[in-house]
Structure 1
Amino acid sequence: MLGLSNIYKHKKTTLLFIALSCLLYVWFAYFTQRTDTLQLILLYGCLFVLGYQILKTSGFHSSTSLSTGFRILVIASVLFRLLFLFATPNLSQDFYRFIWDGHMLLEGFNPYLYTPNYVINWNTSIPLAQDLYNGMGALSASHYTNYPPLNQLCFVLGNLFPGNSILSSVIGMRLLIIAADIGTLYFGKKLLEALKLPSNRIFWYILNPFIIIELTGNLHFEGVMIFFLVWSLYLLHKGYWKCAAVVFACSVSVKLIPLMFLSLFFWWFTSTSLNDKKNSQQKKISYAEPNGLSTFAGIKKLTVFYTIVGITLIAFFIPFFSMEFVNNYSKTVGLWFNNFEFNASIYYILRAIGYAITGYNEIGIIGKILPLISVLVILGFSVLKKNNSIPKLSTSVLMVFTIYLFLSTTVHPWYIATLVMLCIFTNYRYPLIWSVVILLSYLSYLGIGTADKSENLWIVALEYLIVFSAFAWEVVLKKRLPI
């Protein structure tokens, strides 16, 4: 094992880049506000340049998990996240609602039944209620919570961190997200090795400045959802499909997004029996072509898989269940399709066409049509693409979720974290480019060049021009196929 002196001797350039990154992350976390436009751009850009140099000089493309370079990358990944530990999120105010929901549960209230607007007028037992209420903003305060049960548990655990302050709750939740990222590093690396893919690809996600800032820094629990999703894919690849179903349900119970991927598992179970698949992996032979008997057995196992997912989800939701909960939750989720607009692409084009034809916003109609198109796309990838390996399955999930985001009325930056993770199992790299230019969505939100602080559509257009160009180049022009 190399000592510290030898590590410095052989990797001193990498260590220099890590030290510079530490300084910039501290600057970003503690001395940068969302309104500091130029500072945001410069810090974000420099962190990506330094991140690339860290990967390049560490022997990223050739090192193994036992090498000094790999260990340095792991240490750097954890260190960068710990630098945010005592920082209040500076690009998002969602964490105020997270803390609020956690305190609601700790006080014995069902967070799905009461809006903050209602609670603030009749109950003062919630710690720091007024500060949380003011911090979350009027939009969040006027709506019922839309965070699933396992996510609510994370809020509770965060609030249990000693201190009884907003910062102590932030630290508690941040530690959970950091732990989830470490779990993603572990299972993501093991899955890459099992697929005979370079294990160092995991650092495209773990060391990505966008992931560090948006998940650890801004406290978005997509990181926990992704941990369960990657763990589920690993178990599925190893043949433990019943355990994979439970873990997949945990992913859904953090964020609902993975629900749209369920139908994509059809060919995984029906293309050949799972026993044949497991044996073919062990013997390193190709999968057998399906026959009537194996297809029938596969459908039975697919049904069991879906049943396990369903039962697990029901178990998570039962403590909160009531007809009022169903009504409130469905309305809140529906708002994302019919009321909210942010950083959209195709929807904004259709909205402009609607304005030209009718003279007013047609989100009520367009917001209902676009999800139907997404459903058709999902069904198409489920039936027409034989997702009988993890790379093929990951590619289909990547394409489906990308198209979903292209058609969405609301695309917050942290939504693309799932794309960044999935691309490491495929031949596609456009999510990495999107993770660089996604900062533009914050700049458009600040209303640069607009008097009323509304979105600057020129900046939104620039973002999607880059993203669509990268997507078209890789998916259409280069005609890259799944691995």
Structure 2
Amino acid sequence: MSGTHRGRFTSWTLLFTGIVLLSGPLWAAFESTWPVLVGASFLGSAGLCLLWRRDAPSMREVLWGALILRVAYLPVGPGLTDDLFRYIWDGWLQWEGINPYRYVPSDPALTSFQDTTLYEELNSQSYYSVYPPLSQLVFALGGLFYDGSWTTSYYVLKVLIMAVEFGGVVLLARLTSARNVLLYAWNPLVLIETAGQGHTEALLVLLLLTAVWAVRQHCGACASLAIAGAGLVKIYPFALGPFLLRRFGWRAVWPGGLLVVGLSLPYAAPYALPHIKASVDLFAKLFEFNAGPYYATKHALWAWTGADWSKTIGPLFRRLFLISLPVLYGLDAWYKWSFRRACLLVIGALFVLSTTVHPWYLLPVIALGVVGPRPSWHWLWLGTCSIGTYLFYVDGPYWVWIWMGWGGAAVIASVRQYTVGVHRHVLEDYRAESAAE
């Protein structure tokens, strides 16, 4: 829709939203202005919802805006999170001929590496690396530019991750409407966590969307490679493999299997899997953040018994997720879900039953959630509220964002489920999406 045909209100909304989102890098740069970042994120998200309702921007405008916004967020430093320091560390070790899974950074064997600013910036010096092989290959590209200062490697990695993720935005434009693409491509959380902080979840976006596209194109081998690649970035996408098995049979297994073996061989060692498992278990037992259902269960049991059940609830929730998988596979076969919806339900169940849901974890469900005929407003709401949890690190309000985020998401999801059950046209949309496969 051209500017001359847009209503004045819509044009001003587009301008206002763009300016608010472009201001994000300034507010993210200083801890003192993080509360302004949260407020700007809510204003920007509200603007996106208004634009979505009016179906205002064209696809061309959405894509150009997405690129401009990502470039604007690239200069943001590692203030909000420090994960990229570990990315650079793992990449540096590889160029020094050391398997990144072999030692924890604080190990005496790495003494010569510890007298550096990079080591001092690491946030988990006593933990083994938990990042799978494809992530490690990306880190190696960043480590190639490490020269004693982390700055060059930091921005090389961010540019690389941003470029891959923007490829996901372009692919998203082939999967859904311009107004749905807008909800992801201009989303403040997405901008902060991709171009702003360079988290590896940004890589998942392209791979998961590629799998959705491949299933719609009836290309099982391509979908298999995409899901395997996603599992080699973050482990949990491997749980999506059985959905491909139902749709394509064993021809959707061997391509991904070969990719897993090929990329894992350079890192294969007897200690690799035990070390990864040891750190994953420690993270699950000791870390908790922005996990609404977990917190609600923990506080309810504490009020009932007067005891701290946190060490019990975490492992229990993990078992519940594993038990839910065959149930979801069966429901997928029974109800003939679309592949996108099946993936969204599995990843959503993982987050609901997690003890830690950092804001950047939500990128895949936001991307998958806007592909469908009806955006997943509950994930979009939770994503926006999760930006507020960053205030935890500056002694700001924390719990209000968790209860508002997860509580609001539960209400929105319930209303959505009621709508699906009542309105025939919504059900027809979902059936059409499944039939497109």
Which residue of 2 is the match for residue 434 of structure 1?
382
Which residue of 2 is the match for residue 96 of structure 1?
85
Residues 117-145 of structure 1: CA deviation (Å, up to 9, x unaligned): 11685223x8xx621222123xx111001
Counterpart amino acid of residue 17 in structure 1: F
Matches of 2:317 and 2:389 in 1, distance apart?
21
Q: Note closer, same or farther for the CA distance 1:387–1:447 as it changes in structure 2 (3 Å cut).
A: farther
1:185 aligns with 2:174: no
Decide which of 223, 230, 233 is 1:254's aligned counterpart: 233
Matches of 2:282 and 2:333 in 1, distance apart?
34
Q: Note closer, same or farther for the CA distance 1:99–1:399 as it changes in structure 2 (3 Å cut).
A: same
The RMSD of aligned alpha carbons is 3.1
**Residues 224 and 253 of structure 2 are in contact (CA less than 8 Å); yes or no, is this contact kept in structure 1?**
yes
Q: Note closer, same or farther for the CA distance 1:38–1:28 as it changes in structure 2 (3 Å cut).
A: closer
Which residue of 2 is the match for residue 217 of structure 1?
196
TM-aligned CA deviation for residue 150 of structure 1: 0.9
Which residue of 2 is the match for residue 331 of structure 1?
278
Which residue of 1 is the match for residue 315 of structure 2?
368
**Residues 115 and 143 of structure 1 are in contact (CA less than 8 Å); yes or no, is this contact kept in structure 2?**
yes
Which residue of 1 is the match for residue 434 of structure 2?
none
Matches of 1:199 and 1:190 in 2, distance apart?
9
1:299-378 equivalences in 2 (<5 Å): 302-356=249-303, 359-378=306-325
1:141 aligns with 2:120: no
1:217-236 equivalences in 2 (<5 Å): 217-236=196-215
SS, match of residue 323 in structure 1? coil
1:141-290 equivalences in 2 (<5 Å): 141-161=125-145, 165-192=149-176, 198-269=177-248
TM-aligned CA deviation for residue 103 of structure 1: 0.8
Aligned length: 421
Percent of aligned pairs with the same amino acid: 23
**Residues 430 and 471 of structure 1 are in contact (CA less than 8 Å); yes or no, is this contact kept in structure 2?**
yes
SS, match of residue 106 in structure 2? helix
Q: Note closer, same or farther for the CA distance 1:54–1:303 as it changes in structure 2 (3 Å cut).
A: same
Residues 322-370 of structure 1: CA deviation (Å, up to 9, x unaligned): 1111210111122233332111122223323444566543333322221
**Residues 386 and 392 of structure 1 are in contact (CA less than 8 Å); yes or no, is this contact kept in structure 2?**
no
TM-aligned CA deviation for residue 104 of structure 1: 1.0
Which residue of 1 is the match for residue 346 of structure 2?
400
TM-aligned CA deviation for residue 308 of structure 1: 2.8
Counterpart amino acid of residue 415 in structure 1: Y
Matches of 1:309 and 1:54 in 2, distance apart?
39
User: Is there any run of 5+ residues in structure 1 with no aligned partner, and where?
Assistant: 61-68, 193-197, 270-301, 450-455
Which residue of 1 is the match for residue 402 of structure 2?
460
TM-score, normalized by length of structure 2?
0.86
TM-score, normalized by length of structure 1?
0.78
SS, match of residue 80 in structure 2? coil
SS, match of residue 119 in structure 2? helix
1:85 aligns with 2:74: yes
Residues 64-85 of structure 1: CA deviation (Å, up to 9, x unaligned): xxxxx32222111111111122
Q: Note closer, same or farther for the CA distance 1:422–1:183 as it changes in structure 2 (3 Å cut).
A: same
Bigger relative contact order (CA 8 A; separation at least 6): 2
**Residues 66 and 186 of structure 2 are in contact (CA less than 8 Å); yes or no, is this contact kept in structure 1?**
yes
User: Is there any run of 5+ residues in structure 2 with no aligned partner, and where?
Assistant: 432-437
Matches of 2:5 and 2:143 in 1, distance apart?
40
Matches of 1:136 and 1:457 in 2, distance apart?
26
